[in-house]
Amino acid sequence: MINILLPTDFSDNAMSAADFALSLFNPAEVRLVLFNSVVSPRTTPGMMINITNLILKDAEKDLRNEKYRIESKFPDIQEVTTVARQGYLQDQVPIMCNAHRIDLIVMGTKGETNLATKVMGSNTEHILRRGFAPLLAVPEMELSKERLEVVIATGKEAIPHEEDIWSLFQSLKDKTNAHFQVLQVQLDPADKAPKSMKFGNMQIAVKVESAETPPEGIYQYLDKNKTDLLVLCHRNSTRIDYLLSRSTTKKLTSNIDTPLLIFPNSETA
C-alpha cells in the first residue's frame, strides 16, 4: 500500500498529475489524500462575513468534485481522502505527511513562463528541499502505454536510496512492463563508470553522457532516448561529488518536460 499526498489547486495541471500517478501505480494499492491549502485575505475586524470560512467551503466543494472525478476514472482506487486547511502550502505539507504517513508527494509543474508558475515552482522546490517525502513532479502529459522506461540518474558507484526506490516501485501498476537503467553524467572524460548497478533483485545497465554540467548531460540523454520517468537523488549540498545539488534539481524541476521522481536528502550536508 502506498500513501500519496496530492496538493491541488484544481487546475488542469494538478488533475493531470493525479491521473499520471494513478496510471503509474496500481490504484488498488493507493490511498490518496487530496489537499488544498487556503491563505486568508487581509480583512478588517469589522467585516460581518468570515471570508476564510467561505473560501474553505469552496475548497471543500472543489475537493469533493475532484474526488468524484478520480473515483469515476479509477474505480479500483483503495481510498480517497479530502482535506482543506488554512495556511501556506509549505507549512501544511509536513503536517499532512505526518498525519497520513505519506510515502509520496505528487505535484504538477510547468515551465517558469509566468508569475503563477514561478510561484508553483518555488513551492515545489521548497517542499523538495525540506525533504518531507519523495516528490513526483509531473508536467502536463499522459503516461505512455508502451513499455515504461525508468532512468535513475546518479553520480555515485551505487544507487542512493536504492532500497527506498525499489520499495516504491513495487507498487507500479505493471512491474513486468517496466525497464530500468542508470544514467551517469561524466564531467571528466577520464572518469570511468560501471557497466551495471544493483537495483533490488536486478542488475541494471549504466548509460553514460559526457557534459560540462549534470543538467546538460541529462538533457542530452533525454533528447536521444524515450524516458517516461526520471529518478533523481537530491542533495542539498554544493560538494562536487554530488550529482544533483539544490540548484541543479531546481533547474530540472522548472524546465524539464519529463516526470521527475525526486528522493530528498537523507543526510545533513
| Maximum average pLDDT range among 36-50, 195-209, 212-226 | 195-209
209: nearest Cα among 258, 127, 151 = 151
Asked whether residue 250 is assigned to any structural domain, the reply reads: yes
Domain interval for residue 43: 2-138
Any idea how long the chain is? 269
pLDDT at 225: 93
- 65 and 153 part of one domain: no
Look up residue 12 and give its three cell numbers: 488542469
Asked whether residue 205 is assigned to any structural domain, the reply reads: yes
pLDDT at 256: 67
- 13 and 133 part of one domain: yes
More confident residue, 41 or 14: 14
175, pLDDT greater than 70: yes
269, pLDDT greater than 50: no
Partner residues linked to 3 by β-bridges? 31
Look up residue 262 and give its three cell numbers: 525526486
pLDDT at 249: 56
CA distance linking residue 254 with residue 26, whole number of Å = 28
- 64 and 84 part of one domain: yes
pLDDT at 113: 40
**How many distinct structural domains can be found in the chain?**
2
- 24 and 134 part of one domain: yes
Reported as a single tens digit per residue, the pLDDT across 55-89 is: 899 999 999 999 999 999 999 999 999 999 988 88
- 198 and 98 part of one domain: no
More confident residue, 173 or 253: 173
251-253-255 Cα angle (round to 5):
65
Residue 154: band (very low, low, confident or very high) from pLDDT cuts 50, 70, 90: confident
Q: Which residue in the block uniquely carries the three cell numbers 509566468? A: 114
Q: pTM value?
A: 0.84
- 187 and 247 part of one domain: yes
Q: What is the mean pLDDT of the chain?
A: 81
Reported as a single tens digit per residue, the pLDDT across 103-131 is: 999 988 764 443 334 334 556 656 666 66
Look up residue 205 and give its three cell numbers: 545497465
- 8 and 114 part of one domain: yes
2: nearest Cα among 19, 26, 23 = 26
